[in-house]
């Protein structure tokens, strides 16, 4: 038995650290060991209980209702509001799309209006649920263009989405204007606060300027916010809140049309572990309102100090003054963002590369955690050194042959042979038969992907993941 756990620990040693405040993507660290312990123990205690049937596991229903209640109080939501615990931000966004579609059976070929900065989870929803995404370019301030979004609403529109904030640039969209335009046409308006929902209410209480985004804004019908992000809970939960039970109703699915138990679901999953819900509930109960206020003060201090520190690093600039705790950094062209990300990794920091998009340069994305505050000086020192190294080595050059190879590929028909050819041409494997491993330094791979169109990036990354996900047989 312990052999398996030993091996587990050995494998885990190769992962990004989830504690320590130095991983600025994927994980959110309160820096409080006791809170982490409580979360872990609650997950373990409920790992085998099943959220499929809340009457069989009433503890899960109690925890869900209390967790939703906490979030509604935090947002100052109206008494009518309700909510559901989902498995993560993507599931909350998917359900917002599904619910909007199913609330309008009268609409043939439904559409939703989104800004081009909307999280890709909504494009996944569009894909899964057959809703056409009408994507409106953002303005020069990286915020959704409310006027263009309003103009894009038509009789087929079932949903309009705004972000608070957007992931890529960390700015809050003009929710009042967007929600008003949606309401004027009788259309649902979802605010995606998956990443900002648990910090923005505290930012307001700390006296920071926060553009309006909650149910206090007329026309906002639903909001998603993730507990597994800035509620610092273990992975596996998010909340989808609706202004009224009627708005939530189409989200439910029941089927008695088979000889087994009547299936009754409020989420995409049926059987689901009670672990993540218990973990989130326990962390939220432990931290409470005061705890989150304190953590918000810390994470905003860290964010402000990072933004101020970057002002002294000439080749870098903050793309948009952050409304929340996300910072996107661009370079002046003397060095590239991808090399800086690799250099940061060499200094023990994970920062996330974002590809160029619609004429905007590649960026370095930081999701700042409360635990980062204690290490801001080290962060800025590592960033300074990384920028210097990246300036010295200059922007990554992609080999002309590789560039030509990519340009000749058809993303809609990328074959295994094409992919093998690209891996060899790019020097990522010695020959086509060699197994694929994730390279140590990613700058060259990212520079190569950055040359490709979004459709080609998708095709190449799908081929890459498909190649990585191959069974280990005895
Ligand atoms: C604004 C926003 N929406 C949705 C999501 C998707 O969340 P998840 O990765 O939990 O599925 C994210 C993730 O970062 C996000 O930032």
Out of 330, 363, 393, a domain closes at: 393
Maximum Cα–Cα distance across the chain = 69
Verify that 93 and 142 share a domain, yes or no: yes
Residue 181 lies in a domain: yes
Residue 17 lies in a domain: no
Angle (deg, nearest 10), helices 89-102 and 120-129: 40
User: Residue 15 above 70 pLDDT?
Assistant: yes
Angle (deg, nearest 10), helices 443-451 and 400-408: 50
User: Residue 437 above 80 pLDDT?
Assistant: no
Per-residue pLDDT averaged across 56-83, rounded?
A: 98
Other beta carbons within 10 angstroms of residue 382's beta carbon come to 20
Distance 45 CA to ligand 1 centre (A): 27
Per-residue pLDDT tens for 209-235? 999 999 999 999 999 999 999 999 999
Separation between Cα atoms, residue 50 and residue 47, nearest integer Å: 8
Verify that 186 and 270 share a domain, yes or no: yes
Angle (deg, nearest 10), helices 416-425 and 454-468: 90
Residue 265 lies in a domain: yes
pLDDT band at 34 (very low <50, low <70, confident <90, very high): very high
Give pLDDT, residue 352. Answer: 98
CA dihedral 84, 101, 457, 390 (to 10 degrees): -50
User: Residue 20 above 70 pLDDT?
Assistant: yes
Beta-sheet strand order (sheet of 222-225): 82-86, 238-242, 222-225, 188-192, 157-163, 111-115, 132-136
Give the residue, by CA position, lying nearest to ligand 1 atom 10: 89
Q: Tell me which of 26-40, 254-268, 426-440 is least confident.
A: 426-440
Which is nearest to 53 in space by CA: 232, 266, 242?
A: 266
Per-residue pLDDT tens for 140-199? 999 999 999 999 999 999 999 999 999 999 999 999 999 999 999 999 999 999 999 999
Verify that 146 and 233 share a domain, yes or no: yes
Verify that 383 and 405 share a domain, yes or no: no
Verify that 53 and 112 share a domain, yes or no: yes
Q: Cα angle at 198 between 202 and 142, to 5 degrees? A: 90
Given a contact cutoff of 8 angstroms between Cβ atoms, the answer to whether 159 and 187 are in contact is yes
Q: Is 192 in the pocket of ligand 1 (CB under 6 A)?
A: yes
Distance 58 CA to ligand 1 centre (A): 29
Domain tally, the chain:
3
Separation between Cα atoms, residue 445 and residue 447, nearest integer Å: 5
Per-residue pLDDT tens for 449-468? 999 999 999 999 999 999 99
Q: What CATH number is attached to the domain comprising 326? A: 3.90.1150.10
Q: Is 68 in the pocket of ligand 1 (CB under 6 A)?
A: no
User: Residue 438 above 80 pLDDT?
Assistant: no
Q: What CATH number is attached to the domain comprising 280? A: 3.40.640.10
Pocket test for ligand 1, best of 119, 122, 190 (most atoms within 8 A of CB): 119
Verify that 160 and 306 share a domain, yes or no: no
Q: Is 163 in the pocket of ligand 1 (CB under 6 A)?
A: yes
Give pLDDT, residue 431. Answer: 67
Q: In the structure encoding, which two tokens stand for residue 126, read together? A: 């569009």
Ligand 1 atom closest to Cα of residue 91 = 11
User: Residue 433 above 70 pLDDT?
Assistant: no
Residue 6 lies in a domain: no
pLDDT band at 426 (very low <50, low <70, confident <90, very high): confident
Q: Is 191 in the pocket of ligand 1 (CB under 6 A)?
A: no
Separation between Cα atoms, residue 447 and residue 196, nearest integer Å: 30
Give the residue, by CA position, lying nearest to ligand 1 atom 9: 89
Verify that 227 and 325 share a domain, yes or no: no
DSSP 472: -
Sign of CA dihedral 336, 339, 345, 350: positive
Verify that 320 and 351 share a domain, yes or no: yes
Residue 124 lies in a domain: yes
Mean pLDDT (the chain) is 96
Residues 6+ apart with CB under 8 A from 159: 96, 97, 100, 101, 110, 112, 113, 131, 187, 188, 189, 190
Per-residue pLDDT averaged across 353-366, rounded?
A: 96
Given a contact cutoff of 8 angstroms between Cβ atoms, the answer to whether 424 and 375 are in contact is no
Per-residue pLDDT tens for 228-277? 999 999 999 999 999 999 999 999 999 999 999 999 999 999 999 999 99
Separation between Cα atoms, residue 124 and residue 253, nearest integer Å: 20
pLDDT band at 432 (very low <50, low <70, confident <90, very high): low
Pocket test for ligand 1, best of 25, 91, 92, 121 (most atoms within 8 A of CB): 121
Q: In the structure encoding, which two tokens stand for residue 374, read together? A: 């204690």
Other beta carbons within 10 angstroms of residue 471's beta carbon come to 4
Residue 473 lies in a domain: no
Per-residue pLDDT tens for 291-311? 999 999 999 999 999 999 999
Verify that 358 and 440 share a domain, yes or no: no
| Three-state secondary structure string covering 271-322 | CCECHHHHHHHHHHHHHHHHHHHHHHHHHHHHHHHHHHHHCCCCCEEECCCC
Out of 376, 393, 410, a domain closes at: 393
Given a contact cutoff of 8 angstroms between Cβ atoms, the answer to whether 239 and 83 are in contact is yes
Out of 249, 284, 319, a domain closes at: 284
Query: Regarding predicted confidence, which is higher, 123 or 431?
Result: 123
Residue 251 lies in a domain: yes
Range of the domain at 451: 400-468
Verify that 280 and 308 share a domain, yes or no: no
Give pLDDT, residue 441. Answer: 85
Separation between Cα atoms, residue 109 and residue 77, nearest integer Å: 33
Residue 81 lies in a domain: yes
Give pLDDT, residue 434. Answer: 67
Backbone angles phi, psi at 194, to 5 degrees: -50, -45
Verify that 122 and 261 share a domain, yes or no: yes
Beta-ladder partners of 357: 360
Give pLDDT, residue 278. Answer: 98
Distance 431 CA to ligand 1 centre (A): 37
pLDDT band at 423 (very low <50, low <70, confident <90, very high): confident
DSSP states of 145-189: -HHHHHHH--TTEEEEEEESS-TTT-----HHHHHHHHHHTT-EE
Other beta carbons within 10 angstroms of residue 332's beta carbon come to 11
Verify that 170 and 255 share a domain, yes or no: yes
């Amino acid at each position: 038995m312990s052999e398996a756990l030993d091996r587990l620990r050995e494998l885990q040693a190769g992962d990004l650290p989830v504690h320590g405040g130095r991983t600025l993507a994927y994980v959110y660290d309160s820096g409080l060991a006791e809170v982490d312990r409580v979360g872990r123990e609650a997950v373990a205690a409920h790992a085998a209980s099943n959220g499929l049937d809340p009457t069989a596991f009433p503890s899960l229903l109690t925890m869900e209702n209390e967790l939703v209640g906490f979030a509604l109080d935090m947002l100052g939501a109206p008494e009518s509001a309700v909510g559901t615990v989902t498995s993560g931000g993507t599931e909350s966004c998917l359900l917002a799309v599904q619910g909007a579609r199913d609330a309008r059976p009268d609409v043939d070929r439904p559409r939703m209006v989104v800004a081009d900065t909307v999280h890709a989870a909504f494009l996944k929803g569009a894909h899964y649920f057959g809703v056409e995404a009408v994507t409106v370019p953002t303005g020069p301030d990286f915020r959704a263009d409310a006027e263009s979004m309003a103009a894009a609403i038509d009789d087929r529109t079932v949903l309009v989405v705004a972000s608070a904030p957007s992931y890529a640039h960390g700015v809050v969209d003009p929710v009042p204007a967007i929600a008003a335009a949606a309401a004027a046409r009788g259309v649902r308006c979802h605010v995606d606060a998956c990443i900002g929902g648990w910090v923005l209410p505290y930012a307001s209480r700390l006296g920071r300027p926060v553009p309006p985004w909650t149910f206090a804004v007329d026309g906002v019908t639903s909001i998603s916010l993730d507990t597994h992000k800035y509620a610092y809970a273990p992975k596996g939960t998010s909340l989808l809140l609706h202004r009224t039970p009627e708005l939530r109703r189409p989200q439910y699915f029941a089927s008695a049309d088979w000889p087994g138990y009547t299936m009754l679901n409020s989420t995409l999953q049926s059987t689901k572990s009670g672990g993540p819900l218990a973990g989130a509930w326990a962390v939220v109960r432990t931290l409470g309102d005061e705890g989150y206020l304190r953590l918000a003060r810390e994470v905003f201090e860290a964010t402000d100090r990072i933004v101020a520190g970057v002002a002294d690093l000439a080749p870098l600039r903050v793309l948009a003054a952050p409304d929340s705790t996300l910072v996107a950094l661009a370079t002046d062209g003397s060095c590239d963002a991808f090399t800086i990300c690799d250099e940061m990794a060499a200094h023990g920091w994970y920062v996330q590369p974002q590809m160029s998009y619609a004429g905007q340069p590649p960026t370095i994305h930081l999701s700042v955690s409360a635990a980062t505050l204690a290490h801001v000086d080290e962060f800025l020192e590592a960033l300074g050194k990384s920028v210097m190294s990246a300036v010295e080595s200059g922007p990554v050059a992609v080999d002309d042959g590789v560039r030509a190879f990519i340009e000749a590929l058809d993303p809609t028909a990328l074959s295994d042979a094409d992919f093998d050819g690209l891996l060899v041409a790019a020097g990522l494997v010695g020959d086509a038969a060699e197994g694929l491993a994730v390279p140590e330094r990613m700058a060259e791979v990212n520079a190569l992907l950055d040359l490709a169109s979004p459709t080609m990036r998708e095709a190449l990354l799908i081929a890459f993941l498909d190649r990585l996900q191959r069974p280990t047989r005895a």
